[in-house]
Amino acid sequence: MSIRHQLLLIALTTLILPWAGCKYARELDAAQRRAQENALAASAETISHALASEPARVFRDLDDRSPFDAARGDQYVFALHNEPLIDGYREDWDLAAPATALPSAEGYAARLLLGTEGRFLYLYMEVEDARTVAQPPVIGPTTLDFTRVDLVTEHPDGTRDAFFFASGAPGPLPAQVLVRGESGGVHFVSEARIQGFWLQTATGYQLEARIPWSLLGARLWIEAHAGDARRAGFEPEDDAPGGRLFMATPGLSTLLATFVRPGTRATVLDANALRLGVAGTLESGGRGAETRSASWYDRFLSVDSTHWPLEVSAADRMQGAAIRAALRGHTSAEWLRAAGGGSVLLAAAPLQIGGEPRGAVVLEQGGNPLLEARDQALSHLFNLTLLGTALAVVFAFAVAASIGVTIGRLRLAADSAIGPDGRIRLSMPESQRSDEIGALARAFERLLQRLNEHTLYLRSLGGKLSHEMRTPLTIVRSSIDNLEFSTLAAEQRGYLLRARDGTARLQFILTALGAAARVEEAIKQAERVPLDLCALLDSAVAGYRAAFPGATFILERPENECPMRGAPELLVQLLDKLIENAVDFCPPGGTITVRLERLGSQYELSVANDGPPLPPAIKDRLFESLFEHRSGREDKPHFGLGLYIVRLIAEFHGGRVGAADRVDGTGVVFSVRLPLI
């Protein structure tokens, strides 16, 4: 992995800060939620204690403790904010509560909704009756066998009044009362104070009516009758167990509003969890929990609310675990999932009268204020952390780029420290730096200095050995020459011959050791002159044919002259080394091909010989000094200087050398490219 990537990974470790911030924010969010639950529950208890001191302003009837029983005719009367128009429709009731289905043993479908505003009770009824029987104009034995809606009210003294609505045609109509005369006759009398509107529909009819509270008592039973004796609703019984009207306590909402803070909704419930008063709203700052825009931080900090109960919204009553606990006498709080999205915190405290829970005070608060405060804090945290991470990444990239460039320069200098001619460049870039890279550059310089000293020693070793051994070798050779003129036995003469061969080999070794030095000196003193490369090859190849009769020489060259500027003696020496190398590896009777071609602005001189291919491991080292890899004859020593001399001469002429196997694998080709001029 590159240093740039390593530093990038190090810089990215700063992202642990947002992660730690998320963990901290989660814990802080949980702590804030618990604190908000406790605070809202404490507020609910405070309001409950205040209301318990004035029970008459909370409950309309403190003595009635029997539970709400819808199956026996108990009805909840909703508070209306505007007086509706009596037209048979409920669109102007500004109420989302559905109508309540009335019980029917015969399957007669009827639904009822009651509301109050000011001095009146408003009634809205939907009845499914495909065939309606109009009220007859003449009283007879079957006078009551027509479609109608009965109203029976009971006063505190136990007396009851009965009214009914019936219509021969749709439109406005008053309620009617069945009156029996002194003679026993029966007739209908209109009650103008109770007005209604009969609206015929495709499936039945709708009835909307307005009844003054002054005509109503503590109980009310409503029943729909069909013309065939079917009915739906409640018929009053003698003991009157039902028919009670439950509704909000007048003035309680106004009283409750004095305790409510902005963004909080307070509701007082009776023992049946029916609403007695409501004040406040969940909206805060013009934004409710359901309208809060989602923050991108939520994907990191979203609370798992799948286990929260869903908020059940009903116009007449409230439900939930916290409310049930409060009605049993225990303060409780819980988080709910709002139906429109978001969350709602609900806290309920028991409303105790005389030490007995008679209701509950419920406070609701949207989760949006808490989330907005959290988002604001996290916005600063994330922005600062991401800015710090971005700066760290940019700084890491800058440092990595600087280090990469510096190390790249050092690497290029190390690659080119030893030139093609074997000379060593001692200076290294960045050696003046005071950091680790500068220390590394200075270490390279010290290494190259020692290597250069050793190379200079090796280069001068051949000349020194040649100089130091030349005089002892001359003495030995002169002694052997003198011995040849002496009378020697046949056995002694054999020893003399072997000694002469040994001195000859020593002379060859000394000559080889000084060859490179002489070539370098010759290159320094050589002069380039115009010459014909084709004529030079003709003369040289003719000599090779005579010198190496065991090999077949083939010369391929252009027909025209091949002029160039060069040192003829050096070019001949280059060709000699290539031919000697080819002869050493060419099998007996093999072919050596010398080819000269013109390639654009260059000449390519190649020497190809039959024989084994080049080992792959040595192809890049063939032209190095003192490199030797031979598996041929060992009748004379080799020091790996021949091809090195070829490279020196080629570079002197501005050319380059190369070696490759033949395409068919039957031999090796050494090539030298030389410029035309």
Which pLDDT score, from 0 to 100, does residue 610 have?
A: 93
pLDDT tier for residue 283 given thresholds of 50, 70 and 90: low
Dihedral sign for Cα 151, 152, 153, 159, please: positive
Which pLDDT score, from 0 to 100, does residue 633 have?
A: 46
pLDDT in tens, 137-163: 766 555 578 899 999 998 888 889 999
Distance (Å, whole) CA 55 – CA 351: 9
Q: What is the DSSP letter of 417?
A: S
What is the DSSP annotation of 486-509?
A: S---HHHHHHHHHHHHHHHHHHHH
pLDDT in tens, 406-457: 888 888 888 888 776 667 888 888 888 888 888 888 898 898 888 888 877 7
Average pLDDT over residues 208-231: 90
Q: Which residues of 556-589 are buried (b: 16+ CB within 10 A; e: fewer)?
A: ebeeeebebebbbebbbbbbbbbbebbbebbeee
Higher pLDDT, 185 or 614: 614
* Alpha-carbon torsion angle 248, 250, 251, 256, nearest 10: -10
pLDDT in tens, 477-507: 788 888 777 777 777 777 788 787 778 777 7
Residue 561 pLDDT exceeds 80 = yes
pLDDT tier for residue 293 given thresholds of 50, 70 and 90: low
Residue 341 pLDDT exceeds 80 = no
Average pLDDT over residues 282-307: 56
What's the burial of 664, exposed, middle or buried (CB within 10 Å: 0-12/13-18/19+)? exposed
Distance (Å, whole) CA 543 – CA 638: 23
Average pLDDT over residues 77-90: 92
3-state secondary structure (DSSP) of residue 151: strand
273 in Cβ contact with 318 (< 8 Å): yes
Share of the chain above pLDDT 70, in %: 86
Q: What is the DSSP letter of 174?
A: E
Q: Is the pTM of this model over 0.75?
A: no
Q: What is the 3-state secondary structure (H, E, C) of 213-260?
A: HHHCCCEEEEEEECCCCCEEECCCCCCCCCCEEEECCCCHHHHHHCCC
pLDDT tier for residue 310 given thresholds of 50, 70 and 90: confident
- Do strands 219-225 and 204-212 pair parallel, antiparallel, or not at all (unpaired)? unpaired
pLDDT tier for residue 387 given thresholds of 50, 70 and 90: confident
Which pLDDT score, from 0 to 100, does residue 618 have?
A: 72
Higher pLDDT, 403 or 240: 403
pLDDT in tens, 626-657: 555 555 444 544 545 778 888 888 988 989 99
**C-alpha closest to that of 581 among 513, 627, 523, 537:** 627
User: Residue 317 contacts by C-beta under 8 Å, 6 or more apart in sequence?
Assistant: 76, 269, 272, 273, 274, 275
The packing angle between helices 436-484 and 490-513, to 10°, is 150
Distance (Å, whole) CA 103 – CA 177: 24
Share of the chain above pLDDT 90, in %: 37
Q: Which domains does the chain have, with CATH numbers?
A: 18-58+250-375 (3.30.450.20), 70-247 (2.60.40.1190), 437-513 (1.20.58), 525-675 (3.30.565.10)
Q: Which of 41-45, 184-188, 489-493 has the highest mean pLDDT?
A: 41-45
